[in-house]
Structure 1
Amino acid sequence: MKINIDRSRCIGAGQCALTAPKVFTQDDDGFSELLPDHEEALDGAAVKESVKVAVRVCPVQAITIE
């Protein structure tokens, strides 16, 4: 699973970090970013599902997965 964040669309709502805290965080400006060790966390089915939910709840559709 490859996760992409369109930082030009991100408004810093934080829904991704709340929904999938093992994968997403917010930078000093409040915008979404991936945690450095997020790929290790993606080994679990529950974490993968939480990422899919984060994609759906992003209010500006800034997150996509491949």
Structure 2
Amino acid sequence: MLRHRFQPGRLVAGVFLIVAGVVYAGDAGGLWETPWFVLIPLVVGGLCTAGAVGVVARAADRRR
């Protein structure tokens, strides 16, 4: 496998999208009741957090 740079923003985005998928799957499977508007702030907040982490990681990488 080719080596590549670690990108923590993508990791954070992936974690938030996995959590959103688990919440949706739990609601679809009948394990719990989730209102429809819960997933929108979860995904948008996760993408904003991932963007902020990406900017901080890029700034830290440029300083090296």
Structure number with the higher helix fraction is 2
TM-score (norm 2): 0.36
Greater C-alpha radius of gyration: 2
Q: Bigger relative contact order, structure 1 or 2, given CA contacts below 8 A and separation 6+?
A: 2
TM-score (norm 1): 0.36
